[in-house]
Amino acid sequence: MALDDRTERLRLRTVNAKELENQKEAELLRNRPDYLPEYEYFLSLLGEGPMAVPLRVARPVMAVMCLSSPLELYDAHGLQPLRLTGGHVSTERLASSYLPPVMCPMLRSTLGSISVSQLGGSSDSGEQFAGYVVPSTCDWVTRFGDLMSLVGLKAAPTHNINSPRIKNSLESMEAWLAEVRSLSNFLSKVSGAALTRKSLNTSIALYREAFLAISDLIELKRRGKIPEIWFLVVSGSFLMDLVANWTVKVRKLLDKLSSNFSNSADLSFPPIFLAGSPIVFPNFKIPRLIEEAGLRVVMDDLCSSERVLPGPTHLAEDTKDGVTKALAQRYHLGCLCPTFADDDRRINGIVSPERLKIIRGVVFHVLKGCHPFDLESMVLEKKIKESGLKFIRIETDYTKEDGPTILTRLEAFRATLH
């Protein structure tokens, strides 16, 4: 793609600024007293970013805008699912002039990263993904194709999934199953590979091992063996390599953490629950401020952290259709997205008797322009306070200017926990 001088200069500035953001965050992490060499694999994946995945995995990559659709289905078709996210101020600013002023910064950053990659001419079409899968999880994501057009991006084949707004009904489950089957047909066309029962079972076993590994890591976080910020590094790199490779590295980290008897987290810090909008590399402003305020995250329900996988799939019928149905049900029931209108499990999960014994308060993180979590924070606040827990809502974006103000608020919040 031939670029005029001004556009090329802008692209190079953005590339350099993005790399500098990665380097600064990685340096901060490597200089922590709880750094381990086992974290380096995950840091390198995050540093290279989503655009480097196609070359690394040596298979077609399907970009997904949400983890709500069965990941095993992509793998069974010979495709690498990759959740597109962006945590860079530099790429967000690159795309901002083309987009609405009040918009999710994560999507702005994502669109900016794709733009930088396409302007760089990484392929003849400027597009390195085999396709996009766009669920209707929020209004911004639903209109992702239009947003790409506004920024001037070239889109690969795109499939839209109509995610149900009501969860607890038979009609909703049947509608979702139809959407999953339609997704499977789309993946077959893109990959040229027919779905088989054998490939499905192989993929389910592969992702079950990944889920078990991340579950063991969650248990260590509960015990103070791994701080939230390192957990975000590990979970944020999920799908940036072949799942089998990633799982092996998580197991090596688990062995190291389990053998190290010194706690990685200060257990004198009050334990809290972190909820709300996703937190992605390199923008770890919120978890770092939480630590500076003397708070310790022991649980979260972020879709960029503990909820990267909904749980193992249990098969009642070992046929291709039966396995597909089991996958659809697992992801539908396991999804805790606030876009569901009737899902009280998010609230019940936070204020359950077991968790009330562990946590003292809830920090709810809202990205400016993230409307589903913005609304949910107001719904949750009343019910959480009624349970006896303290609650604080932090609304922010990717800039650092509001850091001191947020820190002061978190420190005041900590004082109320005693």
pLDDT in tens, the chain (418 residues): 445 677 778 888 999 999 999 999 999 999 999 999 999 999 999 999 998 999 999 999 999 999 999 999 999 999 999 999 999 999 998 888 889 888 999 999 999 998 888 776 544 333 589 999 999 888 888 888 899 999 888 878 999 999 888 888 889 899 999 999 999 999 999 999 999 999 999 999 999 999 999 999 999 999 999 999 999 999 999 999 999 999 999 999 999 999 875 656 677 899 999 999 999 999 999 999 999 999 999 999 999 999 999 888 877 778 899 999 999 999 988 888 887 766 677 777 777 777 778 899 999 999 998 888 888 888 888 888 988 899 999 999 999 999 999 999 999 999 999 7
pLDDT score for 125: 36
3-class secondary structure, 84: coil
Residue 276 backbone zone (phi > 0: left; psi -120 to 50: alpha; other: beta): left
Q: Residue 414's Cα: distance from chain center in Å?
A: 27
Please state, in angstroms and rounded to a whole number, the distance separating the CA atoms of residues 187 and 200: 13
Distances (CA, A) of 412 to 89, 391, 392, 415, 418: 28, 12, 10, 5, 11
Please state, in angstroms and rounded to a whole number, the distance separating the CA atoms of residues 403 and 288: 10
Short-list 145, 141, 140, 142, CA closest to 156: 145
> At residue 410, what is the residue type?
L
Tokens of 251: 């197991």
Fold of 213-416: Rossmann fold (3.40.50)
Short-list 391, 386, 228, CA closest to 299: 228
pLDDT score for 126: 39
Where is 256: in which H helix or E strand? helix 243-259
Fold of 5-195: Rossmann fold (3.40.50)
Four-point Cα dihedral 8, 9, 11, 15, nearest 10: 130
Please state, in angstroms and rounded to a whole number, the distance separating the CA atoms of residues 92 and 147: 13
> For residue 305, what is the DSSP state?
T
Cis peptide before 404 (omega within 30 of 0): no
Q: Residue 312's Cα: distance from chain center in Å?
A: 18
pLDDT score for 3: 53
Residue 61 backbone zone (phi > 0: left; psi -120 to 50: alpha; other: beta): beta
Helix axes 89-96, 105-119, angle to 10 degrees: 80
Please state, in angstroms and rounded to a whole number, the distance separating the CA atoms of residues 72 and 70: 5
Burial class, 381, CB count within 10 angstroms (exposed 0-12 / middle 13-18 / buried 19+): middle
Tokens of 98: 């083309």
Question: pTM of this prediction?
Answer: 0.94
Q: Where are the domains of the chain?
A: 5-195, 213-416
Tokens of 41: 């694999």
Please state, in angstroms and rounded to a whole number, the distance separating the CA atoms of residues 199 and 322: 14
DSSP strand pairing (80-83 vs 271-276): unpaired
Distances (CA, A) of 345 to 163, 274, 340: 18, 16, 11
3-class secondary structure, 231: helix
Burial class, 66, CB count within 10 angstroms (exposed 0-12 / middle 13-18 / buried 19+): buried
Q: Residue 388's Cα: distance from chain center in Å?
A: 29
Where is 190: in which H helix or E strand? helix 170-191
Q: Where do runs of H (alpha helix) occur along 58-169?
A: 71-76, 89-96, 105-119, 139-142, 144-151
Q: In the block, which residue shows the tokens 């992509």?
A: 74
